[in-house]
Every structure is written in C-alpha cells, then in structure tokens.
C-alpha cells in the first residue's frame, strides 16, 4: 500500500505497481493534491524507529490522468503517480500484481478484499491499515444507488450491508487472491472510487483491467524517456 500525502493532514491511498509508479484514483489526486507518497506504512501514527525503518518516503515527480478524467465524472476515476526516485523493494514494500491471466476469468471473480485507512464503524479514520472482505454485487444494485454506472466500473460490497470501504479509502485497492505460478498472489481488480455517505455495504470501484492499455502506455512511455 501507498499513503499519498497532500497539504496539512490530507491523505488518500494507492498501490505500488512497479518501482516507479503508484496507481490511485482521480478523486484522490483532485481532492488531496498529493506531493509525496509513503510506502511500507501500517500504522499512520506510529513514529517509533521500528515503524519508520520499514517506511520509504518518495516525492511525486508527475501525475498522469486518464484523458476522460475531468474532475467531476467517475467514469475514468484513475490516475498514476510517477515517483521522483526508483523504489527498492523490501519485505514491507512490494508491488501488487495487475491484470490476472485470461484463464482466471476476472469477470467471474466473486470475492474481494478492500484495504485502506478509511473510516471505521466508530466514524473515525483508522490509524492502522485495515482490510475487509467484499463480494461482487449485481450491476443493477449500484445502478439503483448511483446516478451513473458504466462498463469501466465494478459494483462490490456486502450483501448483509455490514462491510464496506468508506471515506478515507479513496484510491486504495480492491484485490483478489489467486493461484498463479504455483503461489497465491494478490491481484488488484479495482480502485476505491464511489460509495454512499453511510458506507452501508454498496460501493463503486474503478475496473483496473478496463484501463490496461492506458496504464501500460503511461508506464512504458515513462521508461522510454
């Protein structure tokens, strides 16, 4: 996970996808206007030497927006943060996998994990990185709650309305654990995008695979410059 920091105490989430890029949401960068990211964070409030030794702070060199992102529409709620320096991977700082192989049939995946430092049942932001299990919901469920739902989005939540991502989780991952190469690996399927004000178990996530070409073009273009 990556903690994207703006001015004052504003923050949002993202995921490291290689040694130079963090994947996040357009809403994250528009609202927080991050200047740097901190990698390897578990407890945002921990300042002990042990905590700090696991973390890496990197300035943001450039922010890449998808061409359809106009600061008001969730249709392309995705952005890439290009870091000023290359990241050295450690036991605490590793990139997440993207784009499950075709045989995994991403559209059939039902169970996901959302991760972030967003609001909990107490109504306050969590200082510790939290996870919750979510399920794919029918498209019409999100269509009934939100004015706009398109093919670039994924509907997920809790059928019992007792688990959800929430305010403060924006830009964070919706992932699935899959067997790949003889090991269990986490693949990022979605990005926390849009939810209800009460975080009642229904949320909209940007579908990462929908933007595969743009992600690869942006990342490869940076490496060729």
Residue pair 100/90 in contact by the 8 Å Cβ criterion: no
pTM of this structure: 0.93
Q: Which CATH architecture fits 97-209?
A: Beta Barrel (2.40)
Q: What is the CA radius of gyration of the chain?
A: 16
Residue pair 132/165 in contact by the 8 Å Cβ criterion: yes
H-assigned helices in 17-129? 26-32, 49-54
Q: What ranges do the domains of the chain cover? A: 2-95+212-224, 97-209
Per-residue pLDDT of the chain (225 residues; tens, 9 = 90+): 999 999 878 899 999 999 999 999 999 999 999 999 999 999 999 989 999 999 999 999 999 988 765 554 557 899 999 999 999 999 999 999 999 888 888 888 999 999 999 999 888 999 999 999 999 999 999 999 888 789 999 999 998 888 999 988 999 999 999 988 888 999 999 999 999 888 988 999 999 999 999 999 999 987 666
Q: Which CATH architecture fits 2-95+212-224?
A: Beta Barrel (2.40)
Residue pair 57/82 in contact by the 8 Å Cβ criterion: no
Q: Classify residue 72 by its DSSP letter.
A: S
> 99: alpha, beta or left, given left = phi > 0 and alpha = psi -120 to 50?
left
């Amino acid at each position: 996970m990556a903690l994207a920091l703006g001015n004052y105490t504003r923050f949002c989430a993202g995921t490291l996808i290689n040694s130079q890029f963090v994947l996040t949401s357009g809403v994250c960068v528009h609202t927080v206007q991050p200047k740097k990211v901190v990698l390897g964070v578990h407890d945002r409030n921990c300042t002990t030497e042990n905590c700090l030794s696991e973390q890496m702070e990197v300035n943001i060199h450039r922010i890449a927006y998808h061409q359809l992102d106009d600061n008001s529409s969730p249709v392309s709620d995705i952005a890439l943060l290009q870091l000023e320096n290359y990241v050295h991977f450690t036991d605490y700082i590793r990139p997440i996998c993207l784009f499950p192989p075709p045989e995994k049939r991403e559209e059939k995946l039902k169970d996901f994990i959302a991760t972030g430092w967003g609001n909990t049942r107490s109504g306050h932001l969590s200082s510790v990185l939290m996870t919750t299990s979510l399920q794919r919901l029918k498209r019409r469920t999100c269509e009934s709650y939100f004015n706009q739902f398109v093919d670039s989005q994924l509907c997920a939540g809790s059928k019992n309305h007792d688990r959800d991502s929430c305010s403060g989780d924006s830009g964070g991952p919706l992932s699935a654990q899959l067997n790949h190469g003889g090991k269990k690996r986490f693949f990022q399927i979605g990005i926390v995008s849009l939810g209800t004000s009460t975080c009642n178990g229904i949320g909209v996530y940007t579908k990462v695979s929908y933007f595969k070409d743009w992600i690869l073009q942006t990342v490869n273009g940076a490496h060729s410059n």
